[in-house]
Amino acid sequence: MKRIYEQILLEHAKKHRQMLFLAGPRQVGKTTTAKAVVSQSAQSLYLNWDVQEHRRIILAGENRVASECGFDTLAGGVQAIIFDEIHKYPKWKLFLKGFFDLFADKCQIIVTGSGHLNIFKSGGDSLMGRYFLYRMHPLSVAELLNQTLRENEIHPARKIADKDFETLLVFGGFPEPFLAANRRFYNRWRRLRTDQLLREDLRDLSRIQDIDRVEILAENLIHQAGNLVNYSTFANSINVSVDTIRRWLLSLESLYFSFSIRPWSANIPKSLRKQPKIYLWDWSLIPDTGNRNENFIACHLLKAAHWWTDIGLGDYQLYFIRDKEQREVDFLLTRNKAPWLLVEVKSSGKATLNPHLARFQEKTGAPHALQVAIDQDYVDGDCFSLRHPAIVPAKTFLSQLV
């Protein structure tokens, strides 16, 4: 299935010498997309850390990889190389730094991985200036409708088929279960992916030994998605310390199982300042309809924020707003640190307009304040032309994002 990320990867290869980092959840389509891009090169090389023979080549060092690329031949070698899951190699940053410094002028380097690739804090092997990061998300309403690049954030609204919208909401945005749209396939795929994530990736990328209790924490997150994180409640239910819960949650986030958003406090008197809310990258895991709908919108907003940031349109961040009087709006999207879009999620279009949208729009100065209704029919209009709080269909609103 063609992904919008192919376009930005092709654009990167034409314009930039930096390594291209493509990060995202397991089975979201990173390797398939990267291979589709390099297939347009005359020659390419694919090395996967999980393949034993490929691992031997990488461990032999930069010159051995260069030899596999054919850089020591008259023909000049490959035009592109993919390093897949190389972040599992303890010295991966040092290896990539050396390989880039030696051979960046000979080929385009693409690095893909199902763990976070954007954390480089050790001074001796910093990759700063040597890579651009693109974060790959599951399928979304807008991506199903349009795979072309735009010079600004917002797409014109387009109608998605009701069947496709329902399939996306029920089976999630990971390509295989979405395309299969089959409950039995989905159940088997979900069990296998969760087992691989927690039993293999977590073991490989962390020092966590108590995998069984991490699985219990992950199950708790499925039922708590969209709620404020209560570290003490999690710690008591699993019988570990609060600090352990914090570390485990960070590990699950690093593997793209969950993500957290923090409260926005600027210009909001008596706002919450510390407790985040937690969501899942795969909203289909969530049994509660209301929580799943909210998570569905959260994933679309996070994808838009990451995409717009990664392609250079600005700095976009996702927050929520809640004060100590329990007044709340589900999401606030900022652009270059300024409030830009307030979003409240409702399952039904019959729900009354949340009065806190107007209050927090006035307090923050955000140009847009929308209540997104999951069940409303598509309306052919521009949600972003509205400058006052209004109820809009999810099918229209989400088609205008990414």
Q: Which long-range contacts (CB under 8 A, 24 or more apart) does 241-250 make?
A: 245/217, 247/208, 248/208, 248/214, 248/217, 249/217, 249/278
pLDDT for the residue 121? 42
Q: pLDDT-based confidence at 116, cuts 50/70/90?
A: low
> What whole-number distance in Å separates Cα of residue 389 and Cα of residue 242?
39
pLDDT of residue 268: 76
- Helices 242-254 and 211-224, axial angle in degrees (round to 10): 80
d(CA 130, CA 141): 33
What kind and span of H or E run contains 360? helix 355-364
2 pLDDT more than 60? yes
Neighbouring C-alpha atoms within 13 Å toward the C-beta of 56: 2
- Report pLDDT for 123: 42
255-283 pLDDT, tens digit per residue, is 999 999 999 988 777 766 778 999 999 99
HEC profile of 195-258: HHHHHHHHHHHCCCCCHHHHHHHHHHHHHHCCCECCHHHHHHHHCCCHHHHHHHHHHHHHCCCE
Mean pLDDT of 2-30: 94
Q: How far is residue 74 from each of residues 41, 70, 77, 190, 371, measured CA to CA in Å?
A: 18, 9, 8, 48, 62
Are 304 and 401 in contact by the 8 Å Cβ rule? The answer is: yes
Angle between helices 162-171 and 289-310 (to 10 degrees): 100
Any idea which fold 5-135 has?
Rossmann fold (3.40.50)
Rounded-to-integer distance, Cα 311 and Cα 7, Å: 11
pLDDT tens column, 46-84: 999 999 999 999 999 999 999 999 998 888 888 999 999
Least Cα distance to 261 among 222, 316, 214 occurs for 316
pLDDT confidence tier of residue 119, bands split at 50, 70 and 90: low
Map out the domains of the chain as residue ranges: 5-135, 141-399
Q: How far is CA 250 from CA 264, 277, 283, 367, in A?
A: 20, 13, 19, 33
- Mean pLDDT across 31-37: 95
Q: What is the pTM of this model?
A: 0.95
Task: Specify the pLDDT at position 115.
Answer: 76
